[in-house]
């Protein structure tokens, strides 16, 4: 029995296809254009290698900011709930999830079954999110993937204020203009983001173990800065961006099983 979870994020869209609780296929694709079209395209791409079609899926759950616009989803569930579920299945002893997505960062507390017990999310501001990192990488003319490793090379990070993405960007441009070392600026950016996320997490009663998910988890510099502040090692899933879609797929499986049983 096949089911799917689809997670339409603000920068990337993700899909996970489960076959009897095992991942049969998964895909990450840049979101762009109309969500309905993207949803179809990502599912086609994920299903074609399996030789199956949308109709063959017993259930589909959509999550992410674009969840409401996925035309074929049986149910919409928020990404917070899905990230909780997905993480718990992969790492049952995790109690706190840090999710760094494109347009928001979140702290999620979960119980042993992956149910959300408490959560926080950044307010209406891109500072501390994946989008912020993208803007900074652009301003520095550095590839996004190189940002993390670069940050680790610095010995004296610059101080970057991060009350606002736009102000931080102009500050970074000024620092570049002054001829400051790129690695120090990049390291400063990572410290600032980590500080912001750490501030958000402090609103929760953080419990170990802690996992980090979302696109931000792929940034080794950010993971390192957060670990320093939290004083503990973070669990980084192999495919951190897929955890939400995975959680959605697990819920789809549950619905399909329930139907079968009922």
Partner 1 sequence: MSEPFKTAALMKELMAKYYDLGEESRRKGIPVVWVTAVFPVEIIYAMDLYPYYPENFGALASARKVADKLSMAAEAKGYFNDLCGYARCGIGDAYSLEHPVGKILSPDLLLCCNTQCGSLPKWFEAAGRFYNKPYFLWDSPMIEDETSDIKQNYLIKQLYELIDFLEITTKRRFDINKLQEVVALSSQATALWNDCLEMAALKPAPFGFFDACIHMAPIVVWRGRQEAVDYYRQLKAELEARLEKKIYAIPNERHKVYFDHIPVWPRLRWFADMFAANDTLVAASQYTHAWAMNFDPARPLETLAEHYPHQFVNRGVDYRLKLKMDFMRHYNCDGFILFSNRSCKPNSIGLYDKKRMLTEMTGLPGLVFEGDMSDLRFFSEGQIKTLFETYFEQLV
| Footprint on residues 38-67 left by partner 1 (CB under 8 A) | 65
Q: Which is nearer to partner 1, 50 or 203 (CB)?
A: 203
Q: Which is nearer to partner 1, 119 or 132 (CB)?
A: 119
Q: Which is nearer to partner 1, 122 or 219 (CB)?
A: 122
DSSP character for 241? G
Q: Which is nearer to partner 1, 63 or 191 (CB)?
A: 63
Binding residues for partner 1, total number by CB under 8 A: 20
- The reply to whether 239 sits near partner 1 by the rule CB under 8 A is no
Which of 45, 145, 203, 233 is the binder for partner 1 (CB under 8 A)? 203
In angstroms, the CA 123 to CA 22 distance is: 36
Which of 205, 228, 258, 259 is the binder for partner 1 (CB under 8 A)? 205
Concatenated DSSP letters of 44-74: HHHHGGGT--GGGEEEEEEESTTGGG-TT-S
- The reply to whether 99 sits near partner 1 by the rule CB under 8 A is no
Which of these segments, 11-19, 90-98, 115-123, 166-174, binds partner 1 (CB under 8 A)? 115-123
Contact between residue 216 and residue 105 where contact means Cβ atoms under 8 Å apart: yes
Least Cβ distance, residue 81 to partner 1 (angstroms): 5
- The reply to whether 12 sits near partner 1 by the rule CB under 8 A is no
- The reply to whether 79 sits near partner 1 by the rule CB under 8 A is yes
Contacts of 250 (CB under 8 A, 6+ apart): 5, 18, 85, 86, 89
Least Cβ distance, residue 162 to partner 1 (angstroms): 18
Contact between residue 108 and residue 80 where contact means Cβ atoms under 8 Å apart: yes
In angstroms, the CA 148 to CA 101 distance is: 16
Q: What element of type H or E holds 22?
A: strand 22-30
Q: Which is nearer to partner 1, 77 or 168 (CB)?
A: 77
| Footprint on residues 122-161 left by partner 1 (CB under 8 A) | 122-124
**Sole residue written with tokens 């409401």:** 68
- The reply to whether 206 sits near partner 1 by the rule CB under 8 A is no
Q: Which is nearer to partner 1, 67 or 190 (CB)?
A: 67
Least Cβ distance, residue 108 to partner 1 (angstroms): 9
- The reply to whether 23 sits near partner 1 by the rule CB under 8 A is no
Which of 12, 119, 132, 198 is the binder for partner 1 (CB under 8 A)? 119
Long-range CB contacts for residues 160-167, cutoff 8 Å, separation at least 24: 160/185, 160/188, 160/189, 160/191, 160/192, 161/192, 162/127, 162/128, 162/132, 162/192, 162/193, 162/195, 162/196, 163/127, 164/125, 164/127, 165/125, 165/126, 165/127, 165/131, 165/132, 165/135
Q: Sign of the C-alpha dihedral, residues 147, 151, 156, 159?
A: positive
Query: Which residues in this chain contact partner 1 in the complex, by CB under 8 A?
Result: 65, 77-81, 103-104, 115-124, 203, 205
């Amino acid at each position: 029995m096949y089911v799917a979870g689809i997670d339409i994020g603000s920068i990337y869209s993700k899909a996970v296809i489960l076959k009897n609780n095992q991942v049969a296929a998964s895909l990450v694709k840049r979101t762009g254009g109309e969500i309905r079209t993207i949803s179809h395209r990502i599912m086609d791409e994920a299903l074609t290698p399996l030789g199956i079609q949308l109709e063959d899926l017993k259930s589909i759950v959509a999550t992410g900011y674009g969840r409401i616009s996925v035309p074929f989803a049986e149910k919409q569930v928020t990404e917070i709930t899905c990230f909780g579920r997905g993480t718990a299945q992969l790492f049952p002893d995790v109690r706190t999830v840090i999710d760094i997505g494109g347009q928001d960062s979140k702290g999620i507390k979960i119980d042993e079954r992956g149910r959300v017990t408490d959560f926080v999310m950044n307010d209406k501001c891109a500072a501390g999110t994946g989008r912020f990192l993208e803007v900074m990488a652009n301003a520095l003319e550095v590839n996004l993937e190189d940002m993390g490793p670069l940050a680790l090379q610095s010995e004296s990070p610059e101080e970057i204020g991060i009350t606002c993405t736009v102000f931080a960007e102009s500050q970074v441009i000024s620092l570049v203009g002054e001829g400051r070392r790129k690695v120090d600026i990049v390291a400063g950016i990572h410290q600032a983001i980590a500080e912001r996320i750490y501030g958000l997490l402090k609103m929760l009663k953080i419990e170990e173990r802690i996992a980090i998910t979302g696109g931000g988890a792929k940034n080794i510099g950010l993971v390192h800065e957060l670990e320093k502040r939290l004083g503990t090692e973070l669990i980084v899933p192999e495919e951190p961006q897929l955890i939400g879609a995975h959680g959605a797929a697990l819920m789809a499986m549950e619905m399909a099983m329930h139907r079968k049983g009922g």
